Amino acid sequence: MKNSELVSKYMRDSRLPHIWCPGCGHGIIMHSIIRAIENLGLDKDKVTIVSGIGCSSRAPGYMDFNTLHTTHGRALAFATGIKLAKPDMKVIVISGDGDASAIGGNHLIHAARRNIGITTIVFNNNIYGMTGGQYSPTTPHGDFGTTAPYGNIDRPFDIANLAAAAGATYAARTTAFHATQMTNYIQKAIAHEGFSLVEAISVCPTYYGRKNKKGSAVAMMNFLKESFVDVKAAERMTPEQLQGKFLMGEFKHNTQLPEYSAEYQKIVDRLRKE
């Protein structure tokens, strides 16, 4: 057998190897998504994967489900249509940090506000990789990009908390290093009824890494290992210990609020009766 059982079952293996650079974290996240789907035992025909534009958005092309590659930032708009037309479908949106929070920023906050049953996985590599390393809304303050040759003066978005504040009922963050935890969060997010978002921190050794002298893919993975702290562990740490650390974990999990496509169906049913 040439490939693992999981790859043969869920990937369009004639399309592989993928186009992502050596050491790119996106492949690890894509692998976590198919592991989560396998663990949930979902029917491939009952899953739709939607993406926008960017490195991350190449992923659905490699995945053997119903897939849709849409316009920049608009994956959630297309996904909303799919969810309303087929409420039984598990709709998963794969988006990048720029695609989700800059170009599609409004789609993100309004999908979250409506609490529509879509799972969004944001592949956050802190930069626009596909177009050549321009700084994105998640590039850390002071870091470099092609369009920030003297350092980025912006302050970055915290995508997981942005979604939670906008109304998402499940929001979590994890990293490509913590791949088992990532599978677990993605699994919970897909099983969740309302809008769920998992911010998956990726590594971009080619652009973000090179521009910011972060070293090899292995060095960047070690950085993720050492600098991300779980929110629960962080509660017991002093401000000095938290210096230079980033938080990961589950930020929000609320199963009480109504899901949008179900609410919509109630209106349809009521008007049909009248």
Partner 1 sequence: MSKSKEQLEIKINKNWCKGCGICIAFCPKKVLGFDDNGKVNMNDRENCIKCGQCELRCPDFAIFLGGIDNE
34 vs 109 by CB, closer to partner 1: 34
Interface with partner 1, residue 7, by CB under 8 A: yes
How many residues bind partner 1 (CB under 8 A)? The answer is 30
Residue 108 interacts with partner 1 (CB under 8 A)? no
Per DSSP, helices labelled H in the chain are: 5-10, 26-40, 75-85, 97-98, 105-114, 159-166, 179-191, 210-211, 217-227, 231-234, 260-273
The Cα diameter of the chain in Å comes to 66
* 60 part of the interface to partner 1, by CB under 8 A: no
Minimum Å gap between C-beta 53 and partner 1 is 21
Token code pair at residue 95: 């988006």
Residue 3 binds partner 1, judged by CB under 8 A: yes
The β-bridge relationship of strands 118-124 and 127-128 is unpaired
Q: How many alpha carbons lie under 13 Å from residue 129 in its C-beta half-sphere?
A: 28
The verdict on whether omega for the bond into residue 149 sits within 30 degrees of 0, i.e. cis, is no
Of the candidate spans 22-30, 50-58, 110-118, 257-265, the one that interacts with partner 1 by CB under 8 A turns out to be 22-30
Shortest gap between Cβ of 29 and partner 1 (angstroms)? 9
Q: Of 210, 218, 257, 258, which lies in the binding site for partner 1, with binding defined by CB under 8 A?
A: 218
* By the rule CB under 8 A, 176 interacts with partner 1: yes
Q: Are 94 and 56 in contact (CB under 8 A)?
A: yes
Q: Which parts of this chain interact with partner 1 (CB under 8 A)?
A: 1-5, 7, 11, 16-18, 20-28, 31, 176-177, 179-180, 205, 216-218, 221-222
